[in-house]
Amino acid sequence: MKLLIQSAKIISKGSPFHLKTRNVLLHNGRIAEIGEKNYSADRVIDAAGMILSAGWVDLGASVGDPGHEQKEDLQSLAKAASAGGFTEVAVLPNTQPTVQTKNEISYLTANNTNRLVQIHALAAVTKNCKGEELTEMIDLQQAGALAFTDGLKPVWHTDIFLKALQYLQKFNAVLIDHPEDTWLNLFGQMHEGVQSTRLGLKGMPRIAEEVALLKNLELLAYAGGRLHLSKLSTAKSIDLVRAAKKKGLQVTCDIAAYQPLLNDSALGDFDTNFKVNPPLREKTDQDALVKGLKDGTIDILVSNHAPQDDESKFLEFDQAEFGVINLQTFAAQVAALAQEIDLAELIEKITDAPRKLLNLASVIIDVDTKANLTLFDPTCEWTFSPDVNFSKSKNSPWVGQKLTGKAVGVFNNSKQSLDV
Protein backbone atom coordinates (compact mmCIF):
# COMPACT_ATOMS: atom_id res chain seq x y z
CA MET A 1 0.00 0.00 0.00
CA LYS A 2 1.16 3.50 -0.86
CA LEU A 3 0.63 6.13 1.85
CA LEU A 4 1.16 9.83 1.29
CA ILE A 5 2.01 12.14 4.18
CA GLN A 6 1.05 15.50 2.77
CA SER A 7 2.53 18.89 3.74
CA ALA A 8 4.51 17.76 6.80
CA LYS A 9 7.44 19.77 8.10
CA ILE A 10 10.48 17.49 8.09
CA ILE A 11 12.89 17.65 11.01
CA SER A 12 15.89 15.45 10.27
CA LYS A 13 19.38 16.90 10.65
CA GLY A 14 21.55 15.55 7.87
CA SER A 15 18.61 15.32 5.48
CA PRO A 16 18.44 17.60 2.40
CA PHE A 17 14.81 18.21 3.41
CA HIS A 18 15.53 19.34 6.99
CA LEU A 19 13.10 22.08 8.08
CA LYS A 20 11.29 21.94 4.74
CA THR A 21 7.59 21.23 4.21
CA ARG A 22 7.17 18.38 1.75
CA ASN A 23 4.96 15.48 0.69
CA VAL A 24 6.40 12.10 1.65
CA LEU A 25 5.31 8.92 -0.11
CA LEU A 26 5.76 5.61 1.73
CA HIS A 27 5.67 2.26 -0.08
CA ASN A 28 6.57 -1.20 1.20
CA GLY A 29 8.23 0.14 4.35
CA ARG A 30 10.46 2.62 2.55
CA ILE A 31 10.39 6.30 1.60
CA ALA A 32 9.63 6.19 -2.12
CA GLU A 33 9.37 9.92 -2.89
CA ILE A 34 9.83 13.30 -1.20
CA GLY A 35 8.76 16.46 -2.96
CA GLU A 36 6.04 18.98 -3.63
CA LYS A 37 4.09 16.82 -6.09
CA ASN A 38 0.75 15.21 -5.23
CA TYR A 39 1.90 11.63 -5.57
CA SER A 40 -0.66 8.91 -6.26
CA ALA A 41 -1.41 6.92 -3.10
CA ASP A 42 -3.92 4.51 -1.58
CA ARG A 43 -4.25 6.74 1.47
CA VAL A 44 -3.47 10.41 2.01
CA ILE A 45 -2.80 11.99 5.40
CA ASP A 46 -3.23 15.74 5.63
CA ALA A 47 -0.23 16.57 7.81
CA ALA A 48 -0.33 20.36 7.54
CA GLY A 49 1.13 21.82 10.72
CA MET A 50 2.60 18.46 11.75
CA ILE A 51 6.19 17.37 12.20
CA LEU A 52 7.69 14.32 10.49
CA SER A 53 10.92 13.09 12.10
CA ALA A 54 12.93 9.96 12.56
CA GLY A 55 11.20 7.52 14.90
CA TRP A 56 11.47 8.55 18.53
CA VAL A 57 13.68 6.57 20.91
CA ASP A 58 13.05 6.28 24.66
CA LEU A 59 16.20 5.70 26.66
CA GLY A 60 15.22 3.78 29.76
CA ALA A 61 11.59 2.86 30.30
CA SER A 62 10.65 0.40 33.03
CA VAL A 63 8.73 -2.77 32.20
CA GLY A 64 7.41 -5.41 34.58
CA ASP A 65 8.11 -8.25 32.17
CA PRO A 66 9.40 -10.66 33.36
CA GLY A 67 8.38 -10.86 37.01
CA HIS A 68 5.70 -8.18 37.37
CA GLU A 69 3.67 -8.56 34.20
CA GLN A 70 0.58 -7.24 35.99
CA LYS A 71 2.23 -3.80 35.91
CA GLU A 72 3.43 -3.90 32.29
CA ASP A 73 4.32 -6.61 29.82
CA LEU A 74 6.22 -6.25 26.55
CA GLN A 75 3.03 -6.14 24.49
CA SER A 76 1.38 -3.38 26.54
CA LEU A 77 4.67 -1.46 26.65
CA ALA A 78 4.96 -1.61 22.87
CA LYS A 79 1.35 -0.53 22.37
CA ALA A 80 1.72 2.44 24.73
CA ALA A 81 5.05 3.33 23.11
CA SER A 82 3.64 3.34 19.57
CA ALA A 83 0.69 5.48 20.72
CA GLY A 84 3.22 7.85 22.28
CA GLY A 85 5.34 8.22 19.14
CA PHE A 86 8.18 5.80 19.90
CA THR A 87 9.52 3.27 17.41
CA GLU A 88 12.31 2.11 19.73
CA VAL A 89 12.44 1.70 23.51
CA ALA A 90 15.45 0.75 25.63
CA VAL A 91 14.23 -1.00 28.78
CA LEU A 92 15.87 -0.98 32.19
CA PRO A 93 17.23 -4.21 33.70
CA ASN A 94 15.24 -4.04 36.97
CA THR A 95 13.05 -7.04 36.27
CA GLN A 96 12.75 -10.44 37.95
CA PRO A 97 15.05 -12.02 36.96
CA THR A 98 17.40 -9.12 36.33
CA VAL A 99 18.57 -8.59 32.75
CA GLN A 100 22.04 -10.07 33.25
CA THR A 101 22.21 -13.16 31.04
CA LYS A 102 21.90 -13.90 27.33
CA ASN A 103 18.50 -15.48 27.92
CA GLU A 104 16.99 -12.30 29.38
CA ILE A 105 18.38 -10.22 26.49
CA SER A 106 17.04 -12.69 23.95
CA TYR A 107 13.63 -12.63 25.63
CA LEU A 108 13.44 -8.84 25.31
CA THR A 109 14.84 -8.46 21.80
CA ALA A 110 13.40 -11.51 20.00
CA ASN A 111 11.72 -10.67 16.69
CA ASN A 112 12.91 -7.05 16.77
CA THR A 113 13.29 -6.97 13.00
CA ASN A 114 9.53 -7.51 12.62
CA ARG A 115 8.22 -5.27 15.41
CA LEU A 116 6.65 -1.88 14.96
CA VAL A 117 8.28 -0.91 18.27
CA GLN A 118 11.74 -2.38 18.72
CA ILE A 119 12.72 -3.28 22.29
CA HIS A 120 16.38 -2.76 23.17
CA ALA A 121 18.03 -4.28 26.23
CA LEU A 122 20.04 -2.29 28.76
CA ALA A 123 21.88 -4.91 30.78
CA ALA A 124 22.79 -4.75 34.45
CA VAL A 125 26.25 -3.53 35.45
CA THR A 126 26.20 -5.56 38.64
CA LYS A 127 24.55 -8.85 39.49
CA ASN A 128 20.92 -8.34 40.53
CA CYS A 129 21.64 -4.58 40.41
CA LYS A 130 23.04 -4.79 43.95
CA GLY A 131 26.25 -2.91 43.17
CA GLU A 132 28.50 -5.63 44.56
CA GLU A 133 29.76 -7.80 41.67
CA LEU A 134 30.16 -7.04 37.97
CA THR A 135 28.14 -8.95 35.39
CA GLU A 136 29.72 -10.62 32.33
CA MET A 137 29.45 -7.47 30.27
CA ILE A 138 31.38 -8.61 27.20
CA ASP A 139 29.11 -11.64 26.81
CA LEU A 140 26.04 -9.46 27.35
CA GLN A 141 27.20 -6.96 24.75
CA GLN A 142 27.74 -9.75 22.23
CA ALA A 143 24.24 -11.01 23.03
CA GLY A 144 22.76 -7.62 22.12
CA ALA A 145 22.93 -5.36 25.18
CA LEU A 146 23.33 -1.78 23.98
CA ALA A 147 24.50 -0.21 27.25
CA PHE A 148 25.01 -1.07 30.91
CA THR A 149 23.20 0.30 33.92
CA ASP A 150 21.71 -0.71 37.23
CA GLY A 151 18.65 1.19 36.08
CA LEU A 152 16.55 2.48 38.94
CA LYS A 153 19.45 1.91 41.33
CA PRO A 154 22.74 3.82 41.36
CA VAL A 155 26.06 2.05 40.95
CA TRP A 156 26.96 3.04 44.49
CA HIS A 157 30.16 1.00 45.00
CA THR A 158 33.10 3.25 44.08
CA ASP A 159 35.49 0.49 43.06
CA ILE A 160 32.80 -1.28 41.02
CA PHE A 161 31.95 2.00 39.28
CA LEU A 162 35.62 2.59 38.46
CA LYS A 163 36.14 -0.95 37.14
CA ALA A 164 32.99 -0.73 35.05
CA LEU A 165 34.26 2.43 33.34
CA GLN A 166 37.56 0.72 32.60
CA TYR A 167 36.01 -2.56 31.48
CA LEU A 168 33.52 -0.98 29.08
CA GLN A 169 36.28 0.86 27.22
CA LYS A 170 37.30 -2.48 25.69
CA PHE A 171 34.25 -2.36 23.42
CA ASN A 172 33.33 1.35 23.54
CA ALA A 173 30.15 0.78 25.53
CA VAL A 174 28.55 3.40 27.75
CA LEU A 175 27.89 3.23 31.48
CA ILE A 176 24.49 4.72 32.36
CA ASP A 177 23.99 5.72 35.97
CA HIS A 178 21.22 7.39 37.94
CA PRO A 179 23.26 9.41 40.47
CA GLU A 180 21.80 9.12 43.95
CA ASP A 181 23.18 8.73 47.44
CA THR A 182 20.53 6.39 48.78
CA TRP A 183 21.59 6.97 52.40
CA LEU A 184 20.94 10.70 52.10
CA ASN A 185 17.58 9.90 50.49
CA LEU A 186 16.68 7.20 53.02
CA PHE A 187 12.92 7.28 53.77
CA GLY A 188 12.62 10.36 51.55
CA GLN A 189 9.24 10.99 49.91
CA MET A 190 9.65 14.22 47.93
CA HIS A 191 12.04 17.14 47.39
CA GLU A 192 13.44 18.55 50.63
CA GLY A 193 12.27 22.13 50.98
CA VAL A 194 9.57 24.41 52.29
CA GLN A 195 6.83 22.26 50.74
CA SER A 196 8.05 19.00 52.31
CA THR A 197 8.23 20.73 55.69
CA ARG A 198 4.71 22.11 55.28
CA LEU A 199 3.36 18.67 54.32
CA GLY A 200 5.29 16.88 57.04
CA LEU A 201 7.04 14.53 54.60
CA LYS A 202 10.66 13.37 54.77
CA GLY A 203 12.64 15.22 52.13
CA MET A 204 15.06 14.11 49.43
CA PRO A 205 17.75 16.80 49.35
CA ARG A 206 19.43 18.04 46.19
CA ILE A 207 22.78 17.04 47.62
CA ALA A 208 21.80 13.36 47.47
CA GLU A 209 21.96 13.66 43.68
CA GLU A 210 24.79 16.16 43.47
CA VAL A 211 27.31 14.43 45.73
CA ALA A 212 26.86 11.16 43.81
CA LEU A 213 27.13 12.95 40.48
CA LEU A 214 30.31 14.79 41.51
CA LYS A 215 31.88 11.51 42.63
CA ASN A 216 30.99 9.90 39.31
CA LEU A 217 32.55 12.73 37.34
CA GLU A 218 35.76 12.52 39.36
CA LEU A 219 35.94 8.78 38.67
CA LEU A 220 35.33 9.41 34.97
CA ALA A 221 38.17 11.94 34.87
CA TYR A 222 40.45 9.37 36.52
CA ALA A 223 39.47 6.24 34.56
CA GLY A 224 38.27 7.57 31.21
CA GLY A 225 35.46 5.92 29.32
CA ARG A 226 31.92 6.95 28.44
CA LEU A 227 29.40 7.96 31.11
CA HIS A 228 25.75 8.88 30.74
CA LEU A 229 24.01 10.43 33.75
CA SER A 230 20.32 9.66 33.79
CA LYS A 231 17.31 11.59 35.10
CA LEU A 232 19.04 14.63 36.54
CA SER A 233 16.88 17.12 38.40
CA THR A 234 18.84 19.93 40.09
CA ALA A 235 20.40 23.17 38.92
CA LYS A 236 23.80 22.28 40.36
CA SER A 237 23.76 18.89 38.62
CA ILE A 238 23.39 20.61 35.26
CA ASP A 239 26.18 23.05 36.14
CA LEU A 240 28.48 20.15 37.05
CA VAL A 241 27.80 18.37 33.76
CA ARG A 242 28.29 21.59 31.82
CA ALA A 243 31.70 22.10 33.46
CA ALA A 244 32.69 18.46 32.87
CA LYS A 245 31.90 18.76 29.17
CA LYS A 246 34.06 21.86 28.93
CA LYS A 247 36.92 19.83 30.41
CA GLY A 248 36.53 17.32 27.58
CA LEU A 249 35.09 14.42 29.55
CA GLN A 250 32.95 11.93 27.59
CA VAL A 251 29.82 12.61 29.58
CA THR A 252 26.21 12.99 28.49
CA CYS A 253 22.98 13.30 30.44
CA ASP A 254 19.22 13.15 30.22
CA ILE A 255 16.19 14.41 32.13
CA ALA A 256 12.59 13.23 32.33
CA ALA A 257 10.47 15.33 29.96
CA TYR A 258 8.07 16.33 32.75
CA GLN A 259 10.80 17.50 35.12
CA PRO A 260 11.13 21.10 33.79
CA LEU A 261 7.34 21.44 33.63
CA LEU A 262 6.41 20.49 37.21
CA ASN A 263 7.60 21.40 40.68
CA ASP A 264 6.96 20.23 44.23
CA SER A 265 3.87 22.39 44.59
CA ALA A 266 2.04 19.64 42.65
CA LEU A 267 2.16 17.43 45.77
CA GLY A 268 0.01 19.74 47.89
CA ASP A 269 -2.91 17.31 47.75
CA PHE A 270 -0.74 14.25 48.48
CA ASP A 271 -1.43 12.83 45.02
CA THR A 272 0.87 9.79 44.83
CA ASN A 273 0.86 10.04 41.03
CA PHE A 274 3.27 12.95 41.44
CA LYS A 275 5.60 10.87 43.61
CA VAL A 276 8.62 10.28 41.39
CA ASN A 277 12.35 9.69 41.72
CA PRO A 278 14.15 11.98 41.28
CA PRO A 279 11.50 14.13 42.93
CA LEU A 280 9.88 17.22 41.48
CA ARG A 281 12.10 20.09 42.59
CA GLU A 282 11.58 23.87 42.79
CA LYS A 283 11.24 26.71 40.27
CA THR A 284 14.98 27.46 40.26
CA ASP A 285 15.68 23.88 39.23
CA GLN A 286 13.02 24.02 36.52
CA ASP A 287 14.65 27.14 35.07
CA ALA A 288 18.08 25.49 35.12
CA LEU A 289 16.76 22.44 33.28
CA VAL A 290 15.24 24.63 30.57
CA LYS A 291 18.56 26.45 30.22
CA GLY A 292 20.37 23.11 30.01
CA LEU A 293 18.07 22.00 27.21
CA LYS A 294 18.61 25.26 25.34
CA ASP A 295 22.41 25.27 25.52
CA GLY A 296 22.87 21.57 24.82
CA THR A 297 24.13 20.53 28.25
CA ILE A 298 21.18 18.11 28.44
CA ASP A 299 21.56 15.69 25.55
CA ILE A 300 18.46 13.51 25.76
CA LEU A 301 14.84 13.62 26.92
CA VAL A 302 13.34 10.43 28.39
CA SER A 303 9.85 9.41 29.48
CA ASN A 304 10.93 7.85 32.81
CA HIS A 305 7.96 5.52 32.27
CA ALA A 306 7.50 3.59 35.52
CA PRO A 307 4.26 1.56 35.67
CA GLN A 308 2.89 0.68 39.10
CA ASP A 309 -0.23 -1.34 39.91
CA ASP A 310 -2.91 -0.18 42.36
CA GLU A 311 -1.40 -2.23 45.20
CA SER A 312 1.88 -0.33 44.80
CA LYS A 313 0.60 3.17 44.14
CA PHE A 314 -2.80 3.89 45.64
CA LEU A 315 -1.69 3.92 49.27
CA GLU A 316 -0.79 6.44 51.93
CA PHE A 317 1.83 8.75 50.42
CA ASP A 318 4.76 7.41 52.43
CA GLN A 319 3.85 3.82 51.49
CA ALA A 320 3.39 4.36 47.76
CA GLU A 321 6.03 3.44 45.19
CA PHE A 322 7.70 6.06 43.00
CA GLY A 323 6.88 6.56 39.35
CA VAL A 324 4.42 7.61 36.62
CA ILE A 325 3.44 6.10 33.31
CA ASN A 326 4.54 8.57 30.65
CA LEU A 327 4.95 7.02 27.20
CA GLN A 328 1.64 8.26 25.80
CA THR A 329 1.78 11.70 27.46
CA PHE A 330 5.42 12.36 26.49
CA ALA A 331 4.50 14.16 23.25
CA ALA A 332 2.40 16.71 25.14
CA GLN A 333 5.43 17.50 27.29
CA VAL A 334 7.56 17.99 24.18
CA ALA A 335 4.93 20.39 22.85
CA ALA A 336 4.92 22.30 26.15
CA LEU A 337 8.72 22.55 26.20
CA ALA A 338 8.64 23.82 22.61
CA GLN A 339 7.02 27.00 23.94
CA GLU A 340 10.49 27.96 25.23
CA ILE A 341 12.91 25.71 23.32
CA ASP A 342 13.43 25.24 19.59
CA LEU A 343 11.39 22.21 18.53
CA ALA A 344 14.09 20.94 16.16
CA GLU A 345 16.53 20.80 19.07
CA LEU A 346 14.01 18.89 21.20
CA ILE A 347 13.37 16.39 18.38
CA GLU A 348 17.11 15.76 18.10
CA LYS A 349 17.15 14.83 21.81
CA ILE A 350 14.65 12.00 21.19
CA THR A 351 15.93 10.79 17.81
CA ASP A 352 19.60 11.36 16.89
CA ALA A 353 21.07 11.74 20.39
CA PRO A 354 19.84 8.47 21.95
CA ARG A 355 20.78 6.53 18.80
CA LYS A 356 24.29 7.97 18.91
CA LEU A 357 24.65 7.13 22.60
CA LEU A 358 23.58 3.51 22.03
CA ASN A 359 25.67 3.11 18.86
CA LEU A 360 22.54 2.57 16.77
CA ALA A 361 22.45 3.45 13.09
CA SER A 362 21.25 6.99 12.44
CA VAL A 363 17.90 7.50 10.73
CA ILE A 364 17.86 10.18 8.01
CA ILE A 365 14.70 11.14 6.15
CA ASP A 366 15.60 10.81 2.47
CA VAL A 367 14.41 9.06 -0.66
CA ASP A 368 14.90 5.27 -0.77
CA THR A 369 15.59 4.85 2.93
CA LYS A 370 13.80 2.64 5.42
CA ALA A 371 10.76 4.32 6.96
CA ASN A 372 11.42 4.61 10.70
CA LEU A 373 9.31 7.68 11.35
CA THR A 374 7.16 9.57 13.84
CA LEU A 375 4.40 11.99 12.83
CA PHE A 376 3.80 14.56 15.58
CA ASP A 377 1.02 17.14 15.83
CA PRO A 378 2.14 19.77 18.38
CA THR A 379 -1.26 21.51 18.37
CA CYS A 380 -3.55 18.48 18.67
CA GLU A 381 -5.86 18.73 21.68
CA TRP A 382 -6.85 15.40 23.22
CA THR A 383 -7.77 13.80 26.52
CA PHE A 384 -5.72 11.03 28.11
CA SER A 385 -8.79 9.07 29.16
CA PRO A 386 -8.72 5.55 30.65
CA ASP A 387 -10.07 4.05 27.42
CA VAL A 388 -7.04 5.28 25.42
CA ASN A 389 -4.47 4.28 28.05
CA PHE A 390 -2.70 1.22 26.64
CA SER A 391 -0.47 0.63 29.67
CA LYS A 392 -1.54 -2.06 32.13
CA SER A 393 -1.05 0.52 34.88
CA LYS A 394 -2.83 3.83 35.43
CA ASN A 395 -0.46 5.73 37.72
CA SER A 396 -0.60 9.02 35.85
CA PRO A 397 -1.58 12.50 37.06
CA TRP A 398 -2.73 13.25 33.50
CA VAL A 399 -5.52 10.66 33.29
CA GLY A 400 -8.67 12.58 32.40
CA GLN A 401 -6.70 15.73 31.60
CA LYS A 402 -6.94 17.67 28.34
CA LEU A 403 -3.50 17.81 26.74
CA THR A 404 -1.98 19.62 23.77
CA GLY A 405 0.48 17.77 21.54
CA LYS A 406 0.16 14.21 20.30
CA ALA A 407 2.05 11.69 18.24
CA VAL A 408 -0.47 10.69 15.58
CA GLY A 409 1.54 8.12 13.64
CA VAL A 410 4.57 5.83 13.75
CA PHE A 411 6.10 3.79 10.93
CA ASN A 412 8.76 1.09 11.28
CA ASN A 413 9.64 -2.33 9.86
CA SER A 414 6.93 -2.01 7.19
CA LYS A 415 4.32 -1.58 9.93
CA GLN A 416 2.39 1.47 11.06
CA SER A 417 0.09 2.82 13.73
CA LEU A 418 -2.06 5.83 12.90
CA ASP A 419 -4.47 7.99 14.87
CA VAL A 420 -5.31 10.58 12.26
Convert the pLDDT of each residue in 186-199 to its tens digit: 999 999 999 999 99
pLDDT of residue 20: 98
Residue 46 lies in a domain: no
Convert the pLDDT of each residue in 336-384 to its tens digit: 999 999 999 999 999 999 999 999 999 999 999 999 999 999 999 999 9
- AA identity, residue 259: Q
Average pLDDT, integer, range 78-93? 98
Residue 403 lies in a domain: no
Convert the pLDDT of each residue in 249-307 to its tens digit: 999 999 999 999 999 999 999 999 999 999 999 999 999 999 999 999 999 999 999 99
Average pLDDT, integer, range 57-63? 96
Residue 343 lies in a domain: yes
Separation between Cα atoms, residue 17 and residue 367, nearest integer Å:
10
Our count of domains for the chain comes to 1
pLDDT of residue 380: 98
Percent residues over pLDDT 90 in the chain: 99
> How much is the mean pLDDT over the chain?
97
Residue 352 lies in a domain: yes
Separation between Cα atoms, residue 358 and residue 19, nearest integer Å:
25
Residue 68 lies in a domain: yes
Read off the pTM: 0.97
Average pLDDT, integer, range 104-112? 95
Strands 51-54 and 373-383: antiparallel
CATH number of the domain where residue 155 is located: 3.20.20.140
On whether the CB atoms of residues 399 and 15 are closer than 8 A, the answer is no
Residue 160 lies in a domain: yes
pLDDT band at 420 (very low <50, low <70, confident <90, very high): confident
pLDDT of residue 23: 98
The count of other CB atoms within 10 Å of the CB of residue 322 is: 20
Residue 74 lies in a domain: yes
What domain range includes position 235? 55-357
Convert the pLDDT of each residue in 374-415 to its tens digit: 999 999 999 999 999 999 999 999 999 999 999 999 999 999
pLDDT of residue 9: 98
pLDDT of residue 360: 97
Convert the pLDDT of each residue in 150-167 to its tens digit: 999 999 999 999 999 999
What per-residue string of b and e applies to 213-235 under the rule 16 or more CB within 10 Å gives b? Answer: bbebbebbeebebbbbbbbbbbb
Residue 67 lies in a domain: yes
Separation between Cα atoms, residue 94 and residue 290, nearest integer Å:
29
